[in-house]
Amino acid sequence: MRAHYGYADGTGEYFIIIDTDKCDGCGECVAACPENVLEMAEDDYGKLVAKVKDEIITTLGYICPGFKVCSQREVNCRARCKHDAIAHTW
């Protein structure tokens, strides 16, 4: 299952997508996120997976620079995910 966290507005789509089937719950992406937008939580089936913090979802595009900017950093959530479970739409 792919969980979409974020929103779309007149400036674009700002979603972080986490493929919960691929996520193994290691939490390395949470530790690597320079903007502290991720956390670990149980999904609907009791599996521990990464997710965007609820209080950040409506402002995600302002807080997270997106993968194009963040990929230039040595440490980022997508680089740390061994299973390629994280994607950004911007």
> Strand runs (DSSP E) across 1-90, as ranges?
2-9, 12-19, 38-42, 48-52, 86-88
As a whole number of angstroms, the distance between CA 32 and CA 61 comes to 18
Instruction: Give tens-digit pLDDT for 11-30.
Output: 999 999 999 999 999 999 99
Domain edges within the chain: 2-88
Instruction: Give how far the C-alpha of residue 70 lies from the chain's centroid of Cα atoms, to the nearest Å.
Output: 12
**2-9 β-sheet, strand order:** 2-9, 12-19, 86-88
Q: Over 90: is that where the pLDDT of 86 sits?
A: yes
Identity of the residue numbered 86: I
Instruction: Give tens-digit pLDDT for 34-74.
Output: 899 999 999 989 999 999 999 999 999 999 999 888 888 88
Architecture per CATH, domain 2-88, reads as 2-Layer Sandwich (3.30)
